[in-house]
Amino acid sequence: MVGRSRWQNNFSEWFNEIVQVAEIMETRYPVKGLYVWLPYGLKLRNHVISALKELLERTGHREVLFPLLIPENLFKKEAEHIRGFEGQVYWVTHGGHDRLDIRLALRPTSETAMYPMFSLWIQSHADLPLKIYQVVNVFRYETKMTKPLIRLREVTTFKEAHTAHATAEDAERQIREAIQIYKQFFDRLCIPYIITKRPSWDTFAGAVYSIAFDTLAPDGRTLQIGTVHNLGQNFSRVYDVQYERVDGSYEHVYQTCYGISERAIAALIMVHGDDIGMCLPPEFAPIQVVIVPIPYKDVQAPIEQTCTEIYERLKQAGLRVELDLRDLRPGNKYYYWERRGVPLRIELGPTDHANQRVTAVRRDTGERIHVPLDRVAERVPQLLREIETSMRRRAWEEFRKRIKTIASVDELQNAIHNRNVGRVPWCGNEKCGLEIEERVEGSVLGEELFTEAPKNRSCVVCFQQANKWLVVARTY
């Protein structure tokens, strides 16, 4: 397969094309980095958002909605934050013909909009912890190449959660909860990930430290699909977010924030895709089952009749099902739905009809399964669950195969060049991390978390005792 697959060897072109032909996005909007969600794509997006909201609500996060505009004086309070973002901010300078007294930033993220309100809302210990989130659009004037769903200038699906706590330990606990939520979210999407602590030079602007989830594109580049930041008291000091302790003294709160965007949807498309197009996990697929009749001379009417009955039955069972009665050749219909990632197709031809059965075809494996007519309503949901489980397993298998544990910088360069992610023993010293970035054609993702420390290994740069795994890859 390798060498011929467009999905792997021409991933960028494949992705841009699929996003358009599968009717996820209209990519021809005349502003760079802005795209239009199409009906099919929007359904997919909404299923993804629902899953994320459900996980947040279940853990006590409450949804809010803040304004898009942030006054310049508030935006510029936290020095590190502004240093990190100023090159990416769009400014509103006029209202009609009037020049505004204070310029307004289109939020690139909402810390500086929210935390002045936190300072009003939080008075005492009893107001903590505060856990809120919103799903909004944010604007970032990205200078790297823009790409639908992956690098946008208007991010339309920015889920940002923000929390405030009484102690540093509570904030640490919140970081762990956020990681658990994101794990569950990506597990539901059947997207494999590696979790790293970002190096100091790649920490979120204003954070004490950042943790990131990365997945792998078919071309071997990693894609950051979510981040969790410990903000310490950096923002609460500047925005004066304090609470009164039981003993009457005051302390600044400890904060965290964590975000996910439509990159998660890009990951869904690319991880499970193939040369034909998308393959969507049943939980998120806008259409889970498509029924395609294969008419044949005088059995056309009874075949269509049976298909309609199956359609009704599956719909009643709560499935998102489509009956394709268009005047097209069956082969064209197959291709049409395959590109759009419909996980299961039900065919009913003359032989099936004669045998009182249907043929179910799995999008993920191509496997054809005969199902007796009277068992369709029971078998189809089972098949969808099997598809989900095997999509998750296969994605993780492919992912693990491409994470290479490596003992030298030369091998690391080789591995990255061959579209893998490298994992090398590291002493923990920043200088060694930076030197690696100079010597190989990849970037340091960071220190791998939730893994066993290397034993009796030496750092690939300085050859001192290694106590961490450093993850290095080409990135998006």
Q: How far apart are CA 355 and CA 42, in angstroms?
A: 39
Return the closest-CA partner of residue 349 out of 380, 385, 307: 307
Residue 436 in contact with Zn ion, rule: CB under 5 A: no
**139/426 with CB nearer ligand A5A:** 139
Q: By rule CB under 6 A, what string of x and - marks binding of each residue 156-185 to ligand A5A?
A: ----x-------------------------
Q: Which does 432 bind (CB under 5 to 8 A by kind): ligand A5A, Zn ion, none?
A: Zn ion
Q: What is the dihedral of CA 51, 57, 61, 62, to 10 degrees?
A: 100
Residue 48 in contact with ligand A5A, rule: CB under 6 A: no
- Residue count, binding to ligand A5A (CB under 6 A): 19
**211/466 with CB nearer Zn ion:** 466
Q: Which two tokens stand for residue 93?
A: 């300078």
Q: How far apart are CA 459 and CA 433, in angstroms?
A: 10
What does each C-alpha distance from 62 to 49, 111, 230, 250, 259 come to in angstroms? 15, 16, 19, 26, 15
Q: How far apart are CA 210 and CA 193, in angstroms?
A: 16
CB of 25 to ligand A5A, least distance (A): 13
Q: By rule CB under 6 A, what string of x and - marks binding of each residue 113-142 to ligand A5A?
A: ---------------------------x-x
**5/429 with CB nearer Zn ion:** 429
Task: Write down the H helix ranges in 241-299.
Answer: 263-271
Q: Which does 416 bind (CB under 5 to 8 A by kind): Zn ion, ligand A5A, none?
A: none
Subset of 376-435 contacting Zn ion (CB under 5 A): 427, 429, 432
Place of tokens 């923000």: 162
Q: By rule CB under 6 A, what string of x and - marks binding of each residue 255-294 to ligand A5A?
A: --xxxxx-x-------------------------------
**225/461 with CB nearer ligand A5A:** 225
CB of 461 to Zn ion, least distance (A): 5
Q: By rule CB under 6 A, what string of x and - marks binding of each residue 332-361 to ligand A5A?
A: ------------------------------
Segment (H or E) for 157: strand 154-165
DSSP readout, 295-342? Answer: --GGGHHHHHHHHHHHHHHHHHTT--EEE---SS-HHHHHHHHHHEE-
Question: Can you give 421-436 as a three-state secondary structure string?
Answer: EEEEEECCCHHHHHHH
Work out whether the CA dihedral 195, 199, 205, 208 comes out positive or negative.
positive
What does each C-alpha distance from 470 to 204, 413, 437 come to in angstroms? 19, 14, 11
Phi and psi at residue 30, in whole multiples of 5°? -80, 25
Residue 459 in contact with Zn ion, rule: CB under 5 A: yes
Q: How far apart are CA 450 and CA 447, in angstroms?
A: 10
Q: Which does 242 bind (CB under 5 to 8 A by kind): Zn ion, ligand A5A, none?
A: none
CB of 257 to ligand A5A, least distance (A): 4
Q: Which does 462 bind (CB under 5 to 8 A by kind): Zn ion, ligand A5A, none?
A: Zn ion
| Residues contacting 78, CB < 8 A, separation 6+ | 111, 112, 206, 234, 235, 238, 239
Indicate left, alpha or beta for 327 from its phi (over 0: left) and psi (-120 to 50: alpha). Answer: beta
Subset of 206-265 contacting ligand A5A (CB under 6 A): 224-227, 229, 257-261, 263
Q: Which does 219 bind (CB under 5 to 8 A by kind): ligand A5A, Zn ion, none?
A: none
CB of 89 to ligand A5A, least distance (A): 13
CB of 428 to Zn ion, least distance (A): 7
Using CB under 5 A, pick the residue from 56, 461, 471, 473 that binds Zn ion.
Answer: 461
CB of 51 to ligand A5A, least distance (A): 16
Cis peptide preceding 425, ω within 30 of 0: no
Q: How far apart are CA 196 and CA 471, in angstroms?
A: 8
CB of 426 to Zn ion, least distance (A): 6
Residue 310 in contact with ligand A5A, rule: CB under 6 A: no
- Residue count, binding to Zn ion (CB under 5 A): 6
**21/407 with CB nearer Zn ion:** 407
Subset of 50-109 contacting ligand A5A (CB under 6 A): 109
**117/462 with CB nearer Zn ion:** 462
Edge-to-edge strands, sheet with 368-372: 321-323, 289-293, 344-348, 357-362, 368-372
Q: Which residues bind ligand A5A (CB under 6 A)?
A: 109, 140, 142, 151-152, 155, 160, 204, 224-227, 229, 257-261, 263
Q: Which residues bind Zn ion (CB under 5 A)?
A: 427, 429, 432, 459, 461-462
